[in-house]
Amino acid sequence: MLLTCALGLMILDKYVPATEQVRTALSLPLAPFQYIVSAPIQWFDKLSYLLSRQDTLHQENMDLKAEQLLLKAQLQRLAAIESENNHLKGLLQSSQQIHGRTLIAQLLAVDSDLSLRQILLDKGSHHGVFLGQPVLDASGVMGQVIQVSPLTSRVLLINDVKSGIAVENARNGVRSIAMGDSYSGRLRLANVPQTADIKPGDMFLTSGLSDRYPPGYPVGQVASVAHDPGLPFMTIILEPSAHLDQSRQVLLVWPAKPPSGREK
């Protein structure tokens, strides 16, 4: 029955012009209902679009942040490589001034005991490293080898309490022994008379008297000079020239003249 009515209405709509006017008249009162019915669908479509767009923007934001972090990490790595290259250039320049064989070594470890000032290098007896061998960096003297294994070696830094280096004042030639101070990380000059001509800012170099360190290499700069009338000697503190807590590459030196003695 319904099917027959539907077919009849379709035939009337096609062949009877008056039905167009009837359909137009009926569409006006039905329009608000059509809007009411379609509005939730449109709102849902808009909400779905906004949520989808928000997810897309959130993902793009996360991707950009990840890319930014990656670029920052790459920049830091490039800065580290540049710093390492500059340090290596400094070592190579220092090696050209030394009369004898040299070898660049890499820092492997730092002693965890804060009272000790020692480092471990990636070169050992297999590379010709020997006990008492001097170790430098691009800025000055770092220390000497105190233990050797086939592939590694241990270095006593100049600011260790057991270290002592024969030095002389670059300004006037006053000689002394620079002793290490493990706690402050600095050096102090031993047994310097109160009358000695030593001033803050003076640079002390290796004297070469012990044949252990090459002569003329920076050891430290005078940071302070204290005169105590009740003491026979001055208290003189040196700031090490070498970057003892920063250098990752160091220079192992084979002096042109074989060492005849050993410093502490």
Strand 235-240 relative to strand 218-226, pairing: antiparallel
Q: How far apart are CA 222 and CA 229, in angstroms?
A: 20
Nearest to residue 80, comparing CAs of 261, 248, 193, 255?
248
Q: How far apart are CA 215 and CA 151, in angstroms?
A: 28
Contact (CB, 8 A) for 242 and 193: no
Q: Where do we find the tokens 């509005």?
A: 39
Q: What's residue 180's pLDDT?
A: 92
Count CA atoms closer than 13 A to 80's CA, side-chain side. Answer: 8
Q: Where do we find the tokens 């070169």?
A: 123
| Tokens standing for residue 171 | 């300004």
Q: How far apart are CA 141 and CA 131, in angstroms?
A: 16
Q: What's residue 116's pLDDT?
A: 81
3-state secondary structure of 262: coil
Residue 224, phi then psi, degrees to nearest 5: -155, 150
Q: What's residue 217's pLDDT?
A: 85
| Tokens standing for residue 210 | 């012990």
Q: What's residue 113's pLDDT?
A: 73
3-state secondary structure of 232: coil
Which amino acid is present at 196? A
Domains, in order of start, for the chain? 97-255 (2.40.10.340)
How far are the Cα atoms of 82, 137, 166 from residue 100, in angstroms, in the given order? 28, 16, 20
Nearest to residue 135, comparing CAs of 252, 249, 215?
252
Contact (CB, 8 A) for 178 and 188: yes
Q: Which residues in the chain come in under a pLDDT of 70?
A: 1-39, 41-42, 44-45, 47, 49, 51, 65-67, 69-100, 112, 114, 210-211, 256-264
Biggest CA–CA distance in the chain, Å, is: 132
Which amino acid is present at 205? L
